[in-house]
Each structure stands twice: as C-alpha cells, then as structure tokens.
Amino acid sequence: GQQVMQIPQYQHVQEGEDFTTYCNSSTTLSNIQWYKQRPGGHPVFLIQLVKSGEVKKQKRLTFQFGEAKKNSSLHITATQTTDVGTYVCAQGAQKLVFGQGTRLTINP
C-alpha cells in the first residue's frame, strides 16, 4: 500500500505553545485520517479528510488536506498537558496504512 511519512518523529513543547505535525505521500491519496494514541493506549479516531484543500477544526485542533491530496497537517493551538500523546495519520481505501506518528510531549 501507499506509504505515508510523518514528520517530525518527536516534538517537545512548552505548555501554551503551538504544535504541528505533517503527513506526506509521493502519490495522491483518496483520504486521510488522523488518530491520537495516548501513552500505553490504543489509537482513537479524530477526523477524516476526503476533499482537496479541505480544512476541518475541532476546538484547538485544525486539520488540513493539501490541494494535491498528497499531504496533510494537524495543528494544535496553545497546547495543554492533555494533548500529550502520539498523533498518527493513516490513509487507504480498503484498509488503512498508518504513518509512524509524531510523539508530542509537553512541559507544563
């Protein structure tokens, strides 16, 4: 299946700072999904993006799907300690192929 590359692999921020993770593919994606995995937990679905250039917001989280549908980003404004975890993107029509994830840690 199509691979998705996520950067950065790790990100440490001060509480209140913003955070962004990127998901990139060399080929056009049919959709992109984002999941959050708390330390020791399982992935929890956040959102699905399907349309070119789509932007969706969930409170302090903003998700974007690139115009060419080859990349996506997740931006968190003013991080809080509850945002700690690994954010993973995934894509696929029949079954999802997951990226490696970006692990976010926060200094309170």
Q: Which is nearer to other proteins, 27 or 78 (CB)?
A: 27
Residue 49 touches other proteins, criterion: CB under 8 A: no
d(Cα 93, Cα 9) in Å, to the nearest integer? 25
The residue within the footprint of other proteins, chosen from 24, 62, 100, 105 (CB under 8 A), is 100
The residue within the footprint of other proteins, chosen from 33, 64, 72, 91 (CB under 8 A), is 33
The residue within the footprint of other proteins, chosen from 11, 20, 24, 48 (CB under 8 A), is 48
Which is nearest to 90 in space by CA: 19, 52, 36?
Answer: 36
3-state secondary structure of 83: helix
